[in-house]
Structure formats: C-alpha cells, structure tokens
Amino acid sequence: MKTLSIDIETYSSANLSKCGVYKYIESPDFDILLFGYSVDGGEVVVVDLANGEKLPTEVLEALTEDNVIKWAFNAQFERVCISRWLGMKSGEYLNPKSWRCSMIWSAYMGLPLSLEGVGAVLGLEKQKLVEGKELIRYFCGPCRATKTNGNRTRNMPIHDIDKWELFKKYNKRDVEVEMSIQDKLHKFPVPDFVWDEYHLDQEINDRGIKVDASFVRNAIEIDEESHKQLILDVQGLTAVANPNSVAQMKEWLENNGVVVESLGKKDVAKLLKESTDEVSQVLALRQKISRSSVKKYMAMENSLCDDGRVRGMFQFYGANRTGRFAGRLVQLQNLPQNHMSDLAEAREIVKSSDYELLDSLYADIPDTLSQLIRTAFIPEGELFYVADFSAIEARVIAWLAGENWRTEVFKEGGDIYCASASQMFGVPVEKHGVNGHLRQKGKIAELALGYGGSVGALKAMGALDMGLTEEELKPLVDAWRNSNKKIVRLWWDVDNAVKTAIKERRKITLKGLSFSLESGILFIELPSGRRLAYIKPRIGENQFGGESVTYEGVGGTKKWERLESYGPKFVENVVQAISRDILMYAMMNMRDERIVAHVHDEMIIEARDGLSLNTVCSKMGETPHWAEGLILRADGYTCNFYMKD
C-alpha cells in the first residue's frame, strides 16, 4: 500500500463551525460513523462503523504508518478525528507528515476551498451529492426532541434506513470526487517544499496557544454587565424600547433633527463630530453598545480544549491568490490593537472580576475589553517572544523593482516614511525633528500608493481624516510616483509580461519572476519556486476602453466569477506572496522552537531555556538564498501575555 484516500462522516454534539475540529472531538459522544477509503486509487470501500463493521487490519495499520501517504479533502479534519478515534488523548495527534490535502492542492491552483466548488469548476464527471447537507444535519449532530420522533435527541441509522443508505453513497462519492481532483491536477503537483510548509502549519495548529480561561470568562461576564448598563443609559435618555434596534434608533434621531441612512461605525463616528448635547451623548453610548469585542472572547471559550489551549486558528493557503494564511475561530488576523499604558493593571482588574473598579477607572468598558483581547493569550512558561518583520512589503517591492534609494534606507536602518517624504519633497525629514510634519504625508503615500493607488486610495486610507486637503492629494500621488519610477515601471513591465504570456503562449522572465500559460492557466513563478495560478485568463477591454486581463476566481462575493486585474494588482499579489514566502522561510528555520501563533508578518513563540529574543530576531531576519540582495530586519519584544509593543 502506497496511498490511502479517505473521507469520514462523524457525530458529535459539539458545534463544529463554532468550536473547530480540535474541540469537536473532545465531546464525550464523538464517534466516526462511516469510513470511506480507497487503496492506491482502487475501488472505494465504505465501512459502516456505526453498524459494527470494522476497518481491515491493513487499513487500520496504514493510518499510523509514515510510509503510507494519506489523502483527504481538508485532511486536517480527517487526521484529527482519526487521532481521537484511535484513542489518542487531548493534545496528541497523528503525525501530519504522511498526510496530503487535496483542498490545499486546489487552493495552490487558485481553485475554491470547498469540495463542491472544486468539482464544479473542474467539471468533474462525478460531483459531490447535493443531498449531503441534509444527511449531515440528520445524522451528524443532535436533533430536536419532538412527539413525532419519540423525544429522541439523536437520529441513528435505524431511524431512517433509506437515508442511511444514501449517506453511505454520499460518503463513497466524496472519496471519488477527492480522487478525481488528484487525477485532474496531476500535471501540476504541489512542490514538496510547500507540503513541508503545510506540515509545519499542521504542527502549529496541533500545538495551539494557551488561553487564560478565567480571564476570558470574567471578560464575558463584565461585558454582559456593561451592556445591560449601556442599554439602561440609552433608554433613560431616549425612552427607546430597544436601543439595539437600528430602526428605533433612527426614528429617535429623526425626531431630534438628525436624519441618517445608516448607523454603521463610520457613520456614527462622523455624526459624533457633527452632533452636540443629548444626541452626541446617545450616539457615543450607541457606539459602545455596538462594539463586538465580546465575540472574540466567546470564540476563545467555544474553542478551548480540555488542556486550556485553543487549536486550529490558521488556514494554510487560506488566501489562494497569494498563498497567505487566513484566520479561523478567534481570527487573530483582525484583533484590535492595544494603546493603553496601564494594560497589565486593567487586565488584573478583569481577572479579579471587579466590575465596579473597572467602571470607576475606565470611561469605556467595551473599549477596555477590546484592547485586552490579546492579553487572553498566555505562554505555557513565563514569556512570549514576539517578533515581526519591519516594513516587509516596502522592502520586497523595492528589491523586486531595483529601487536602490529605498534599499539604501533599509541598509542604514532608516525610517522609510521619513525617507519617502524627503525624496518626494526634496528636503530632509526627521521623525520628531526637522520637517517632521512631512513624515505623515510620506507614511500615507507609502501605505496607499505602492500598488497603483491614486487619489481614491489615499482617501480610503484616511488621508482627509489625517488633515490632508483634497487639493494636496493629486500632487502627493505625482510626487510619490516621480520618486519611485522603478516601482512604477515594474507595474507596467509586469502588466506587459502577463499579457504577452497569454497572447503569445510563451514564457516571459522578469525580475526573478516567470510568466507562462499552461493548459489554460496563467502561472507566475516566484523566486522561491512557488507558483501563483490564475484560471482561464483572457485579454479583454476594461471600462475605460483599454486592454485588460480577466481570470476566474473567488471574488469579493465569495462566489466563483470572472475577475479583472492589471499590472499593479499583479505586483501586489506577487509582493504579498513573496512576503508570505519570507515568513514561511523564517518559520521553517525556527521549526524546532515552540511557535504557537503568527499574525500577518509576526511570529509568537513560547520562550524556553537556551533561546533568546536576539536569536529569534536574528534567525527571522535571515535572507533566503533565493532573495539575494533583499534587506530584511526583524524586531521583537518579550511579554508575559500577548500584546502589541
């Protein structure tokens, strides 16, 4: 036996979508109902475990043998569930090294992250059975007790034999579809080094990160108390029955001379600047009520494993345009920042569950709890080492474009925002020094304009809110582009390379990148050897009458659709993908350390004897062999709970 393709159907009273697979399997009633498998691409067999059938000995043994490659779509689910089914205890899971995931393969090829979606896009002969969702609802979780069903809380095979037979067909079909994906994509294998990265991702997900459970519980209780008080305060001022109701609040505002289309965060913030007296007070309270920080705490509590750790927070290749990670469960990628100078003190008050003291010391409890979210994550020992790359995308785009003045700034350890402002306005700029007021213009330009952005991008980045005038924006765009002519040239060189590869069906090389069209797929090969894939590219016409590139992919609506792109956007994909590869290179270098989490370009490691912060930053700042000349720097700090330095 060389390969084993697997799909399982399971039961647990835990809610998988809320708690994640690692918590899901810790429910005492967790079990595997059906086990579909194929050995070496042969006939699919379904073992009805729920009705007492047994897995063949050779299949059972293969599950723990490293020389047998196990395949599944979203293999993490199968691997973790089978670990518990085999009797492994909490925190122990099958070694991921002998597992491969056809979902990751699909993502690598720019395809959807669902089995149904991949099957449809690839036009597979056998598609996932549409009845699956209903069958899963019926057999895989608790049911509502009714007189009709004899007040039972779980549906067993005996309760609907026809449905159970269909469920077995569904299980078999999923294995067949998963194998068909492999057959369809066999010409474009995932490189071995990417599978090695996936295995590291699985190790980090398996390890998880420790959570201060009592702190989380107290934060939720304090938020509930605060929410009740805020509701009473608004009702006292307005007599509105339900301050959570947008319609009722809009009616009250209209009766007080304020007509609004929306009560979204930005709209309320804008209204607050324009309002006075009672309306302003009510809007401020409304803003506090709508703050959703408690959801993060509840996500932690829902997914907390028996040993006090949250696992499964990272989706490898979650962003399949670039290969970057996506967040799951607690969503570390969008945590609120903390700016409080007395973070530790506020944390201790929450930990002691002293609502009155917190209320007396902090004017805004929801905001305080929001800033404290990160601190719920604590190390197993005494310290976290937190290290991140300094201006990683700015460094990568400068290196790729050959914008040497920027590279010199990085070599000398300079401030890119000051240097950019200096280059744009032709005067020296120092942070908190000479012409220091120009640094902000340099910063907003750097953040908004690197990927073809113009006046609209500056506005979207908040340029007007930062004090810039409408008249300053276009000159700012022109100044940045004139100071970064090689970056601007890179946009259009990449644009031309993409179009030439599609039109002439030949390989184009540029700046360590290669562009090619193979079997109706545009590939951009990165310096690391990893490839970005764009399905069914075409040359079309954009809204301005110019030539544009379109391809098929998952768009902003989360649906498979035709998307439009152009040079600067492809450059953004490439720069973010290279930045991802650099983070991955650093993580692989520190594979033997206890990496417990990573957020964007940051790594969080549980400190241990023999490892120093300097070592972490030094290793993280090593330039990969494939990026000669790229200047990297990593900065770090220590903390005894997670925080932003």
Q: Domain holding 618: CATH number?
A: 3.30.70
Domain co-membership, 55 together with 181? yes
Residue 364 lies in a domain: no
CA gap 645, 640 in Å, rounded? 12
Give me 122's structure tokens. Answer: 């690839």
pLDDT in tens, 184-203: 999 999 999 999 999 999 99
Q: How confident is the model at residue 492 (pLDDT cuts 50, 70, 90)?
A: very high
Residue 572 lies in a domain: yes
Q: In degrees rounded to 5, what are phi and psi of residue 551?
A: -155, 170
- Cβ atoms of 365 and 293 within 8 Å: the answer is no
Domain co-membership, 249 together with 326? yes
Q: How confident is the model at residue 80 (pLDDT cuts 50, 70, 90)?
A: very high
Domain co-membership, 239 together with 181? no
Domain co-membership, 460 together with 523? no
Region 481-491: what's the mean pLDDT?
96
CA gap 275, 282 in Å, rounded? 10
CA angle 577, 567, 325 (to 5 degrees): 20
Domain co-membership, 162 together with 27? yes
The percent of residues above 90 in pLDDT, for the chain, comes to 75
Residue 34 pLDDT > 80: yes
Domain co-membership, 60 together with 84? yes
Residue 207 lies in a domain: no
Q: Which residue has the higher pLDDT, 541 or 53?
A: 53
pLDDT given at position 292 = 65
- Cβ atoms of 40 and 1 within 8 Å: the answer is yes
E-assigned strand segments in 368-475: 384-389
pLDDT given at position 111 = 95
Torsion sign across C-alpha atoms 287, 293, 295, 298: negative
Residue 145 lies in a domain: yes
Entry field: residues in the chain: 645
Which residues contact residue 495 at a Cβ distance below 8 angstroms, ignoring those fewer than 6 apart?
A: 549, 566, 567, 568, 570
CATH number where 26 lies: 3.30.420.10
CA gap 286, 295 in Å, rounded? 17
CA gap 458, 473 in Å, rounded? 7
Give me 78's structure tokens. Answer: 């199968």
pLDDT given at position 192 = 97
pLDDT given at position 19 = 97
Region 570-584: what's the mean pLDDT?
97
Residue 503 lies in a domain: no
- Cβ atoms of 312 and 22 within 8 Å: the answer is yes
Domain co-membership, 300 together with 325? yes
CA gap 604, 229 in Å, rounded? 37
State the residue range of the domain holding 218. Answer: 213-334
pLDDT in tens, 551-571: 999 888 888 999 999 999 999
The percent of residues above 70 in pLDDT, for the chain, comes to 100
Which of 417, 450, 483 terminates a domain? The answer is 483
Nearest to 383 by CA among 182, 153, 637, 5: 637
Domain co-membership, 448 together with 515? no
Q: Which residue has the higher pLDDT, 286 or 565?
A: 565
Q: How confident is the model at residue 284 (pLDDT cuts 50, 70, 90)?
A: confident
Region 164-188: what's the mean pLDDT?
96
E-assigned strand segments in 148-249: 209-210
Helix axes 213-238, 277-290, angle to 10 degrees: 150
Domain co-membership, 384 together with 410? no
Domain co-membership, 177 together with 41? yes
Residue 374 lies in a domain: no
pLDDT in tens, 510-522: 999 999 999 999 9
Residue 531 lies in a domain: yes
Burial 459-473 (b: 16+ CB within 10 A, else e): bebebeeeebeeebb
Range from 12-21, 65-74, 355-364 carrying the lowest mean pLDDT: 355-364
Q: How confident is the model at residue 223 (pLDDT cuts 50, 70, 90)?
A: very high
Domain co-membership, 155 together with 219? no
CA angle 361, 366, 368 (to 5 degrees): 50
pLDDT given at position 469 = 87
Residue 43 CA neighbour count, 13 Å, CB half: 3
CA gap 340, 3 in Å, rounded? 54
Residue 268 pLDDT > 90: no
Number of domains in the chain: 4
Domain co-membership, 7 together with 153? yes
- Cβ atoms of 577 and 532 within 8 Å: the answer is yes
**8-state DSSP, 271:** H
Residue 198 lies in a domain: no
CA gap 160, 130 in Å, rounded? 18
Region 485-492: what's the mean pLDDT?
97
